[in-house]
Amino acid sequence: MAIFTPMSYRGQDSQESALGEGVWVGLLEESSDQDLIARHVAGDPEAFGEIVRRHRDRLWAVALRTLGDREEAADAVQDALVSAYRAAHTFRGQSAVTTWLHRITVNACLDRARKAVSRRTSPVAETERLEQLLEPEESAAAPAERQDLHRELLSALRTLPEEQRAALVLVDMQGYPVAEAASILDIPTGTVKSRCARGRARLLPLVTHLRADNGDSKPVTGGRNRAQGTSVPPTAGPKDTGAVKGGGGRA
């Protein structure tokens, strides 16, 4: 949509008009996310475009891994950005702007996932879905066994309920700390932990053979895999208090 395409600023204030386009863009880039939201609410036509530029890649990664379909992910991100654009006046700064945007995006993904159950058409080929989770150069250069691994993991991930899948995507794949994932999902931290633990418990029987086949590599631990693709979940049951740890910061 045009509202998310940065345009040349044409402010009415004489001082801002005199700055010149290059200087004005520099000021936008130096502004904090919260300042940009405030400018957007005040009527700055470029402020939200800068917000989108900063965060769209991470929002896209979350949507793609949650939905597993490129078109659905693109639509979910677009829905989320439209919602954020319209609801910016409700942002009170109680969380980071990125947390607020991720919450809206995850909700948009879950809405689409639920609707897809009742209107499912012919699915995208498994290999196409796999390639969407890999960088183009990695997809082309990866050995066949690695592609098979990712295909099976992605297939297993899609067997989870939407809520468990969303929690695992944020914590295990995006590397969010549990507390921040809880803020994004708007649920208690304990609920994030239990959803991750239950999700891992459901995935484990489906991926154990993949661990056995990968004998020449180091054992998979509970560390966070924030590279492109899907990680094998750690072998922790629901009662393992170390099953979910706050991963590293965001990429």
Closest Cα partner for 190 from 175, 179, 199, 177?
Answer: 179
Q: pLDDT confidence of 117, banded at 50, 70, 90? A: low
107 vs 117: CA distance, rounded Å: 16
| Residue 36 pLDDT greater than 90, yes or no | yes
Summarize pLDDT for 78-114 with one digit per residue, the tens: 999 999 999 999 998 888 999 999 999 998 988 888 7
224 vs 109: CA distance, rounded Å: 22
Domains belonging to the chain, first-starting first, are: 22-124 (1.10.1740.10), 126-251 (1.10.10.10)
12 vs 215: CA distance, rounded Å: 66
89 vs 47: CA distance, rounded Å: 13
Summarize pLDDT for 129-173 with one digit per residue, the tens: 333 433 444 444 455 666 666 667 767 778 888 889 889 888 887
Tell me what the mean pLDDT of segment 16-41 comes to. 73
246 vs 177: CA distance, rounded Å: 3
CA-to-CA dists, residue 173 to 88, 98, 170, 182, 224, angstroms: 28, 17, 6, 15, 7
pTM of the model: 0.56
218 vs 221: CA distance, rounded Å: 9
9 vs 34: CA distance, rounded Å: 19
Question: Would residue 91 be called left, alpha or beta, if left means φ above 0 and alpha means ψ between -120 and 50 degrees?
Answer: beta
* Positive/negative CA dihedral, 251, 8, 4, 100: positive
Angle at 242 between CA 248 and CA 96, to 5 degrees: 35
Enter the tokens of residue 12.
Answer: 């009415």
Are 179 and 171 a contacting pair, CB within 8 Å? Answer: no
Summarize pLDDT for 38-88 with one digit per residue, the tens: 999 999 999 999 999 999 999 998 898 888 788 989 999 999 999 999 999
pLDDT the model gives residue 67 = 83
127-131 contacts at long range (C-beta below 8 A, 24 or more positions apart): 127/151, 129/68, 129/69, 129/154, 130/154
Enter the tokens of residue 128.
Answer: 């196409």
